[in-house]
Amino acid sequence: MFSYYFKLGLRSLRRNPALTALMVLTLAIGVAASVSTLTILHMMSGDPIPQKSERLFVPIFDVAPVDNYNPGEKLRENQVTYQDAMNLLKSGQGERRVALYGIASPIEPPRKDLPAFSASGVAPTREFFAMFDVPFLRGQTWSVQDDERGADVVVLSRKIAEKLYGEANPVGQRINIMGFPFTVVGVTDKWAPKPRYYKLVGGEQFGDGEDFFIPLGSAIRHETTHNGGMNCSERSEPGFQGILRSNCTWIQFWFETASSADRAGLQTYIDSYAAEQRKLGRMKRAAPNKLFNVKEWMEEREVVDKDTKLSAWLAFGFLLLCLVNTIGLLLAKFSVRAAEVGIRRALGASRREIFRQFLIESAVVGLAGGVLGLVLAFGALALIAMQSSEVASIAHMDLTMLAFTFAMSVLAAILAGLLPTWRACQVTPAIQLKSQ
């Protein structure tokens, strides 16, 4: 019976074509507006590493002077100092520990036909690749020895490797970065988590991923300036070495634990570490030390800003308005079929069958609105993507949103069809036939 009613619903699309087209268009516009904004929200707020997000932690300490401190005020730090990063790397806590900071540098290609170009990357410690599940296309990460001595080795992204060497294997080749020759030890496969949860401070939070990776020790040895945020609550000594000895926070640090249950032990450790630092004259505020997992860190850094959330709510408000209009159009469409309902009731059709038939016809309208809404949503996302390359990286629909579009459109049409369908079922056969 469902297939029969579905066929009737398809045929009903040709009945009152102008009214049907207006319903489908109204529903499609509402669906497209809500889906396009929801797609942006979905891509921005998704868990970028669900298999580990409960086991990756960012520690934050308050290293500012005690002057003008009000206990309980919100922590202003979002990174750690260089000396804290080095201490935490040696702590042995967790399964893995990674310190990193963003860098930007010109790359001088070995090919004469290719001019030097600017690139952005990350200077992490060796376990970065294992901690964040970075896939390798060729080669591998640098060795423990390279990490300890800050060797001039580099891991290129697939995009940069293909730009420099085409399809050839670049492992073992040498290129100039920051004016120094670096040996290529690996090439990452496509890897561009959204957002860039591992480096949410400074730079773009979304995008196509990093161009290259060099050891943290190498970047420090070459006194490479950071490409990102830095917070200095007190004056530091001049020069790069002064920054290393200062209480300026500019290094991003991550712990990986074996399980989420190890969080309490890690919290105990960082509290103990902060207490030891206070004995050395640092962290005098004695403010609570923070530990964020991936989702908490994204919320703390407000990856999804208030404007995006407001846009989503406004889009759903617009969809509600479209639904109200659709209800009115369905009432008009079904009201002219009172004679048909009266005859069917007189022939023995129950109100339940009439209700089911008209509701399925409403769902067919929703399905048509979903198809058109999907086309309009793709157009809206294409327009949104034109704002910038960062926005373009998240302005695309995945399979989840594709399925959600159809489900939402059909559900919206069914909800809109409840009242008109109920009104249609109230037809009294005797009165209706008598009026004919």
CA distance 253 to 198: 9
Lowest mean pLDDT segment, chosen from 36-50, 74-88, 403-417? 403-417
Contact between 362 and 424 (Cβ < 8 Å): no
The pLDDT value recorded for residue 255 is 97
Residue 196 has pLDDT above 80, yes or no: yes
2-9: long-range pairs with CB below 8 Å, 24+:
2/360, 5/356, 5/357, 5/360, 5/361, 6/360, 6/364, 8/357, 8/360, 8/361, 9/360, 9/361, 9/363, 9/364, 9/365
Q: Tens digits of per-residue pLDDT, 345-392?
A: 777 777 788 788 877 887 888 778 878 888 888 888 888 888 777 777
CA distance 91 to 83: 12
Residue 307 has pLDDT above 60, yes or no: yes
| pLDDT range class, residue 146, cuts 50, 70, 90 | very high
The pLDDT value recorded for residue 11 is 72
Peptide bond into 195 cis (omega under 30): yes
Per-residue pLDDT, averaged over 101-122, amounts to 89
- CA-to-CA dists, residue 347 to 20, 343, 354, 361, 433, angstroms: 28, 6, 12, 21, 12
Q: Length of the chain in residues, anyone? A: 436
Three-class secondary structure of residue 138 per DSSP: strand
Three-class secondary structure of residue 107 per DSSP: strand
Residue 435 has pLDDT above 70, yes or no: no
For the chain, give the percent of residues with pLDDT over 70: 96
Contact between 204 and 222 (Cβ < 8 Å): no
CA distance 184 to 138: 10
CB-based contacts of 92: which residues, under 8 Å, 6+ apart?
none
Q: Tens digits of per-residue pLDDT, 199-241?
A: 988 777 787 789 999 999 999 999 998 888 888 887 778 888 9
Most confident range, picked from 69-83, 245-259, 383-397, 399-413? 245-259
**Among candidates 35, 128, 43, which has minimal Cα distance to 303?**
43
User: To the nearest whole number, what is the mean pLDDT of the chain?
Assistant: 86
Q: What pairing do the DSSP bridges indicate for beta strands 136-139 and 290-293?
A: unpaired
Q: Tens digits of per-residue pLDDT, 253-279?
A: 999 999 999 999 999 999 999 999 999
CA distance 363 to 357: 10
